[in-house]
Structure 1
Amino acid sequence: LSWMSAQLRSASTALNVQFTKKGKPIVHRAAGIAPGARAASADAGADAHRSSAPAIRAVGISSVSTASGPLISLEHDRTKRVPIPPNEPHPFLQALGMQTSEGRIKSDMQDKFQQINEFLKLLGHTRELERLAEGRTSAPHAVSTGSLTAGVSSARPLCILDCGCGSSHLTFGTYHYMSSVLGLPTCIMGVDTNAALMQKSNDFCRTLGLAPSDAEFFAAPILSFSPRSPPDVVLALHACDTATDDALALGIMQEAPIIMAVPCCHKHLHKQMAGKPPPEPFGPLMRHGILRQRQLDMLTDTLRAQLLRVLGYKTDVVEFTSTEHTPRNLLLRAVRIEGGRASGPATAGSASRARGLKQRGQLLQQYDNLKAFWGGVTPRLEELLAPQLRQLRDDLAAAGM
């Protein structure tokens, strides 16, 4: 054996196993410390370190006890806070088939549930939801985690658009988080080309008692969809290939305050680079298929993030969950800068606007330089936003920048 001793502890017992040089095991069992004995041991100072009674710690419960009575309070042990607690029954989770009637997340839905929670956590970190909701509520908003529809006021709601929503787990999770957990009036829209899934989601809405004005799903390509009201948040979780670009473009065109996308597969730039010699000194890296794929994936997301910055969004790229739950775990998170329109010339007296235009011009130059370095590739997102980029270049030229 590579080890000579081991210790196993439970709430009431400690088991110690030691092996002699000849390999003979010696087993010791010890009970927990009674409160009186624990106090006496603590008063003894240095004697406490020589006590043969084991220290016992349990996680996730308020106290542990033995036959002689309670051992120690563990109120300091707290469950990790997440947007949607995993051990509390939720009507929408059960209706979606993610949770059992006892309130446990099903084993085959653990990864999806983890992704939703991490996505929502990063959405909350923007601090934009509360700001957007200011002035929209007519009265203090009741919070209820027991009902999907409880506590929503008659004020104009925040509008969530989920692009390429598929089975709509994220859509409904976002609705529940915003309306029932944060207490914000919310409506949701989902769009996907899978008509059967969209009908299923609409049926699910009616089962929950949600009116079309609260939640509705549409079978359509992302870019051909016209939201009934401008979305406040545009989401896309694992929209395939250029569908992510469609979602980002729609969010920018609608001037959505928040855009969050987790890209899936990347094929567009891979096809453009096929057969082209890589820029120096990237030849050794691009020789290997897996490294080439990852490099072009990173290039795609870098260009996407830079275009969002160019067009007036504060943007970061973060890991939204562990690769244990999904290998596609990069999140593009963009928050629209106040007054961050990409078009419209700087006018006299608009010093702040002129500074913003100059900054976007610098970001655009960085974008152009990166493209040129990689052989002049053209991302799909740039193609979709050609009118906005052309207007920005005209504005820069008119301002002499």
Structure 2
Amino acid sequence: MSASSSATAAPDARDQFLALLDQALATHRLTKLVLARPVGSDTSLQRIIAKPVQIKGQPCLSLVYRHQTRDITRNLPVAQVPALVAELLPEAFRNAHLFEADGEVQLTFSKKGKAMLQRHAAQAPREAATSTGHDREKKRYLELSRPFLRDLGVTDAHGALIPSMSRKWKQINKFIEVFEHALGSAALPAEQPLRVADFGSGKGYLTFAIHDYLRETSGREAQVTGVELRPDMVELCNAAAARLEHPGLHFECGDVRSVVPAAIEVMIALHACDIATDYAIHTGIRCNAAIIMCSPCCHKQLRPQLRSPDLLQPMLQYGLHLGQQAEMLTDSLRALYLEACGYETKVFEFISLEHTSKNKMVLAVKRERPLPNGELLARIEQLKAFYSITEHCLETLLRADGLLPSH
């Protein structure tokens, strides 16, 4: 356990969290409250996000009830908030995150109802902590002083960012930010060790970062494996992991087809070319991973199959537009297959990777209660028929394993 993170497994962890919430509200130090991992009767409700606001001079919390297809906002006087949160934990939500200027407190409940309280120190000083505006200093999810950043050439001997690595530093922080939010909504008990596989790990920037974040910032046990085809990169990263004393971090030579883990909680594949992304997603689904993070690249499989409907012929006669359509269709089908396999899936822009302009991320978090997929599968078939698509690699892999029903 690091100095910046601590955990408590006392029987009164819930009461401690509620007391800290009372204190944060009374002292106006609360910046955000998040309730996640819903277990209530409303299956469409995903989380509640609350932030302090002033309404007619009265301190209130603006609560956004985030559903699958809509958001509902409710403004509640501060005095009424503790009773509402006490009512919802753990009957309606199994995770709660309390954010203040000097750190975060996380309350989690296991499937057996055991409560765990974790405290995380802030990653960087912030100004105007009590402000409800938009001028607070941007949060950094890793400190520049972390030893692995110096060893991998991101910072110099004095812990200062090397100017040529500023883009990489921005990418690392964005990656950890996305992962932190996914981890907060995933059904993973805080006391559970995490097994992570990073396919195409390269020089290991993000692999080291996620290992460091899990063990040093979150205080979680983690076994992180970087998988890379180039033996020299594997040797370099394993030497750095040993030199820096990163227990539970190691690198293997291979790819997503040759290194097949028995079980993982987190699957990462950034910049996986063409159908390598499909193999990576399939591995994540087959291993029942709670979190799948992919950044696709080089969409080649569907383009030769794509037959433009008559109405779209004038638009798709241009090669650039046809390529963009093939890319959008490929990744849309990937996202829909993930949804059909029980994942809540998002597709959004990510920081550009170091040697490519590709910056799309497909992020999937396993649902605790999968939704019926019959109608979704039928709509997928309609989409394929519209473009005359006969084969999608991910679908083929999933059907071969019985993870999707056969035609």
TM-score band, normalised by the shorter chain? 0.5 to 0.7
Alignment of 1:71-82 (within 5 A): 75-76=127-128, 78-82=136-140
- Residue 203 of structure 1 is matched in structure 2 by 239
- Residue 94 of structure 1 is matched in structure 2 by 150
- Residue 387 of structure 2 is matched in structure 1 by 374
- Say what the alpha-carbon RMSD is for the aligned residues: 2.4
Deviation at 1:322, TM superposition (A): 6.5
> Could you list the runs of 5+ residues in structure 2 that have no partner in the other structure?
1-125, 129-134
**AA matched with 1:238:** H
Structure 2 residue 291 is matched with structure 1 residue 258: yes
Check 1:272–1:104 CA distance in 2 against 1; reply closer, same or farther (3 A cut).
Answer: farther
Deviation at 1:248, TM superposition (A): 0.5
Residues 310, 360 of structure 1: 8 Å contact kept: yes
Q: Within 2, Cα distance between the matches of 1:204 and 1:121?
A: 24
Deviation at 1:339, TM superposition (A): 4.9
Q: Secondary structure at the match of 2:176?
A: helix
Deviations 1:183-203 (A, max 9, x none): 222120011222221122111
Deviations 1:38-66 (A, max 9, x none): xxxxxxxxxxxxxxxxxxxxxxxxxxxxx
Q: Within 1, Cα distance between the matches of 2:191 and 2:177?
A: 24
Q: Within 2, Cα distance between the matches of 1:75 and 1:390?
A: 49
Give the alignment's TM-score, normalised by structure 2.
0.63
Q: Within 2, Cα distance between the matches of 1:323 and 1:97?
A: 17
Give the alignment's TM-score, normalised by structure 1.
0.64
Match of 1:329 among 348, 352, 359: 359
Q: Secondary structure at the match of 2:273?
A: coil
Tell me which structure has the larger Cα radius of gyration: 1
Q: Within 1, Cα distance between the matches of 2:150 and 2:164?
A: 14
**AA matched with 2:381:** D
- Residue 302 of structure 1 is matched in structure 2 by 332
**AA matched with 2:289:** A
Structure 2 residue 304 is matched with structure 1 residue 246: no
Check 1:220–1:325 CA distance in 2 against 1; reply closer, same or farther (3 A cut).
Answer: closer
Q: Within 2, Cα distance between the matches of 1:218 and 1:78?
A: 41
Residues 343, 366 of structure 2: 8 Å contact kept: yes
Normalized per residue, the structure richer in helix is: 1
Deviation at 1:130, TM superposition (A): 7.7
Check 1:132–1:391 CA distance in 2 against 1; reply closer, same or farther (3 A cut).
Answer: closer
- Residue 176 of structure 1 is matched in structure 2 by 212
Residues 186, 366 of structure 2: 8 Å contact kept: no
Residues 224, 249 of structure 2: 8 Å contact kept: yes
Q: Secondary structure at the match of 2:351?
A: coil
Deviation at 1:124, TM superposition (A): 1.2
Q: Within 2, Cα distance between the matches of 1:220 and 1:324?
A: 21
Greater relative contact order structure (CA < 8 Å, 6+ sep)? 2
- Residue 223 of structure 1 is matched in structure 2 by 257
Deviation at 1:252, TM superposition (A): 0.6
Q: Secondary structure at the match of 1:234?
A: strand
Deviation at 1:392, TM superposition (A): 2.3
> Could you list the runs of 5+ residues in structure 1 that have no partner in the other structure?
1-73, 137-156, 341-355, 395-401
Q: Secondary structure at the match of 1:263?
A: strand
Deviations 1:63-100 (A, max 9, x none): xxxxxxxxxxx953753102124xx3220100111111
- Residue 123 of structure 2 is matched in structure 1 by none
* Count of paired positions: 276
Check 1:389–1:202 CA distance in 2 against 1; reply closer, same or farther (3 A cut).
Answer: same
Identical pairs, percent: 35
- Residue 118 of structure 1 is matched in structure 2 by 174
Residues 89, 101 of structure 1: 8 Å contact kept: no
Deviation at 1:107, TM superposition (A): 2.4
- Residue 318 of structure 2 is matched in structure 1 by 288
**Which 4+ runs in 1 deviate beyond 6 A?**
322-325
- Residue 313 of structure 1 is matched in structure 2 by 343
